[in-house]
Structure 1
Amino acid sequence: MSSGRSVDDKISEELKSLSLRGPAGGSGRGGGILLEEEDEAIRFANVRKKDFKLWERVKGRMINILDGLELHTSVFSAAEQRRIVDCVYDFQEKGRKGKLRERTYLEPRKWMRGKGRVTIQFGCCYNYALDRNGNPPGIIRDEVVDPIPPLLKQMIKRMVAWHVLPPSCIPNSCIVNIYDKDVCISPHIDHHDFVRPFCTVSFLSECNIVFGTQFKTNGPGDFSGSATIPLSLGSVLVLNGNSADVAKHSVPIVPTRRISITFRKMDDSKIPYDFIPDPDLQNLRPLSLRGQNHPNILPLQQDQQDEPPKNAQHSQKVQQAQKAQQAQKVLQSLALQRPMQLSEDDFLPLSSNTTVQFHRK
């Protein structure tokens, strides 16, 4: 018997290393993460999407209050998450030093349990409550904040390319939230100055998000509703339909520091007066699920919460066998292909002033 590794072992190890590989000569926080075609294929194939169902009586009829809610995992690698978090801290430091526009950065005084969330807004200034100038909650159209930085634009491109967000609703604003320990977000429905769908990406620590039409307050920052959904690191939660407009959502007090980034598209009638559309975010298109160049790219996988069929055990075995065969085809295909460089740009540090160009095929 040969003591060497098999071809499959070598391929498997190579694929695992791809998500952490930077460009040639790149290192440190300033380096980018370069996706090659092999990496794009295998990572896109491994994205998981889960839909949710929770039936409740609303205005006299039973509806799925979580209709439109999706949770996507494996969209951002561990290395990409670390780079994004580093850049968020860079912007927090700039905000503290007054190097960002006035309404871009907000760090409120922590006066009770549940308060003290740092917010960094890009694209538009959203007002959470009636302010001292008499502005009601919503987008303040005559306020100017910093534009979406290059790294966050790359996140948007990734989510559109990988079928997480539709090309008909490309975000043109976002808000970064930095939660300290014991900080929460009370139950609410996102303002309709923003169209649907919108999404939130989670970093640093796992936490729960709670949905429901009715909430119970158990204590300061402690809310309970009809459904509690854990948000894993790097996951993307997409809210649309009933999950965005019928059910409220809340983040109860977090046990440790957490960062989230929420991406939203502004309603055309609410866009700030001086807003200039970003050319890097125009006409983005998703990758083909089964293109000519990658006939073996697997479609996005879905974990449904429907009732299991009567022959669920047999069906599950068949599905597992089919997935194993498809995965083997991907590995065999990748082993025979020559590495090629994607036209999509790599992740840039937020401090970069370089304009990112998105090459469309």
Structure 2
Amino acid sequence: MAAGRSVHKISEELKSLTLRGPAGGILLDEDDEAVRFANVRKNDFKHWERVRGRLINILDGLELHTSVFSSAEQRRIVDCVYDFQEKGRKGRLRERTYLKPKKWMRGKGRVTIQFGCCYNNAVDGNENPPGIIRDEEVDPIPPLLKQMIKRMVAWHVLSPFCIPNSCIVNIYDRDDCIPPHIDHHDFVRPFCTVSFLSECNIIFGTELKINGPGDFSGSASIPLPLGSVLVLNGNGADVAKHCVPVVPTRRISITFRKMDDSKIPYDFIPDPELQNLRPLSLRGQNHPNILPLQQDQQDEPPKNAQHSQKVQQAQHAQKVLQSLAQQRPMRLSEDDFPPLSSNTTVQLRRK
């Protein structure tokens, strides 16, 4: 089999995952998606604090995946979010899907649009406690956001064993923020957030200080590049609190989460498009029935410079795919999630 066919095979598998815009237009730019997938980078983080007398990495379980969504894709996703916002303003979304503060206050002006379930941050007027309101309906996840989920599962960003069935869109204007919190356990782990429009820092720590409205400080700060996906799991989701201080300019984030089975709304219908998603198959030693790209390439020499470049790109993609294949899911016990206590700051270090 020729090397060109090997690259073509990867590209064909990716075609079914092409994101499409609201009007059905192709969302992907013109780059070869197989090469783009190979260029996605994952960063893990270390930050040590003493919790109940034990020094632990409070960021264990955090992953930052960069270059997941291109600039062209980001623009189309943002346009889609603005379309949701306009529909919400005009009352064309189900009640509680679109939420806007009655009165803007510094740090409390975020517009939220939630799909899949209605979630309460605090006790509401009907005395519903914080968490998922099971007897309240909101709009289902829109097609474009479902395609984002498919992309993230396919590209090994999200686990196929924890596919999101809800999401919340946050639209920040200048001086908006998200206060310190740990995500409610009505949602299972891992979950993720995708960043758009402007870069900002997300702050982590077992103790986060509130200096004033929207002004927070903590022991670890992570910048969130545009189009990146931050996956929260383990200590990073359940031991460390996190927050986003006031932003200097408009920002959009989309957080995808899977509901705990016991908390799913009563009238919720699982979306067949999000069932049984699988990551792209990995070619190499872990899959003996699939020939590695290098072996395919030996059957026919490059015919021209462009073909040679494709071969080099395929070789690079193969190295990344083999690296992904060697990853193993982290197994954590209850001992990894001790109650919050005093902290000791140690220098943040990125793998």
What is the TM-score when the length of structure 2 is the normalising length? 0.76
Equivalent residue, structure 1, for 2:312: 330
Judge conservation of contact 1:64–1:242 (CA < 8 Å) in 2: yes
Displacement of 1:288 in angstroms is 2.1
Identity over the aligned pairs, expressed in percent?
81
Equivalent residue, structure 1, for 2:239: 246
Cα RMSD of the aligned pairs, angstroms, is 2.6
- Give the Cα–Cα distance (whole angstroms) in 1 for the partners of residues 21 and 149 of structure 2: 24
Judge conservation of contact 1:210–1:226 (CA < 8 Å) in 2: yes
Displacement of 1:332 in angstroms is 6.8
Judge conservation of contact 1:29–1:83 (CA < 8 Å) in 2: no
* Pairing 1:84–2:77 present: yes
Structure 1: which amino acid aligns with 2:122?
A
* Pairing 1:295–2:289 present: no
Map Cα deviations across residues 186-243 of structure 1 (whole Å, 9 max, x no partner). Answer: 1100000000000000000000100000112222211010101000100000000000
Structure 1: which amino acid aligns with 2:66?
T
Judge conservation of contact 2:29–2:70 (CA < 8 Å) in 1: no
Q: In structure 2, the residue corresponding to 1:244 is in which secondary structure?
A: helix
- Give the Cα–Cα distance (whole angstroms) in 2 for the partners of residues 199 and 332 of structure 1: 29
* Pairing 1:270–2:268 present: no
Aligned match of 2:128 in 128, 131, 135? Answer: 135
- Check 1:89–1:28 CA distance in 2 against 1; reply closer, same or farther (3 A cut): closer
Unaligned runs of 5+ in 1: 1-21, 297-325, 335-361
Question: How does 1:88-237 map onto structure 2 within 5 Å?
Answer: 88-237=81-230
Map Cα deviations across residues 126-183 of structure 1 (whole Å, 9 max, x no partner). Answer: 0111011110000000000000000000000000000000000000000000000000
Structure 2: which amino acid aligns with 1:330?
Q
Judge conservation of contact 2:169–2:253 (CA < 8 Å) in 1: yes
Map Cα deviations across residues 66-114 of structure 1 (whole Å, 9 max, x no partner). Answer: 0000000010011100000000000100000000000100011344211
Judge conservation of contact 2:35–2:314 (CA < 8 Å) in 1: no
Q: In structure 2, the residue corresponding to 1:269 is in which secondary structure?
A: helix
Equivalent residue, structure 1, for 2:346: none
Judge conservation of contact 2:28–2:73 (CA < 8 Å) in 1: no
Equivalent residue, structure 2, for 1:16: none
* Pairing 1:31–2:25 present: yes
- Give the Cα–Cα distance (whole angstroms) in 2 for the partners of residues 28 and 127 of structure 1: 28
Displacement of 1:329 in angstroms is 4.0
- Check 1:226–1:27 CA distance in 2 against 1; reply closer, same or farther (3 A cut): closer
- Give the Cα–Cα distance (whole angstroms) in 2 for the partners of residues 294 and 110 of structure 1: 59
Displacement of 1:41 in angstroms is 1.5
* Pairing 1:75–2:73 present: no
- Check 1:234–1:34 CA distance in 2 against 1; reply closer, same or farther (3 A cut): closer
- Give the Cα–Cα distance (whole angstroms) in 2 for the partners of residues 90 and 215 of structure 1: 35
- Give the Cα–Cα distance (whole angstroms) in 1 for the partners of residues 227 and 79 of structure 2: 14
Equivalent residue, structure 2, for 1:40: 33
- Check 1:28–1:151 CA distance in 2 against 1; reply closer, same or farther (3 A cut): closer
Map Cα deviations across residues 23-69 of structure 1 (whole Å, 9 max, x no partner). Answer: 9xx99975223588x82210110000000011110111111100000
Equivalent residue, structure 1, for 2:349: none
Q: In structure 1, the residue corresponding to 2:161 is in which secondary structure?
A: helix
- Give the Cα–Cα distance (whole angstroms) in 1 for the partners of residues 210 and 127 of structure 2: 30
Q: In structure 2, the residue corresponding to 1:81 is in which secondary structure?
A: helix
- Check 1:244–1:79 CA distance in 2 against 1; reply closer, same or farther (3 A cut): same
Judge conservation of contact 1:201–1:235 (CA < 8 Å) in 2: yes
Aligned match of 1:55 in 48, 57, 81? Answer: 48
- Check 1:30–1:56 CA distance in 2 against 1; reply closer, same or farther (3 A cut): same
Q: In structure 1, the residue corresponding to 2:282 is in which secondary structure?
A: coil
Aligned match of 1:279 in 272, 279, 292? Answer: 272
- Give the Cα–Cα distance (whole angstroms) in 2 for the partners of residues 68 and 283 of structure 1: 24
Structure 2: which amino acid aligns with 1:295?
L
- Give the Cα–Cα distance (whole angstroms) in 1 for the partners of residues 23 and 315 of structure 2: 33
Equivalent residue, structure 1, for 2:302: none
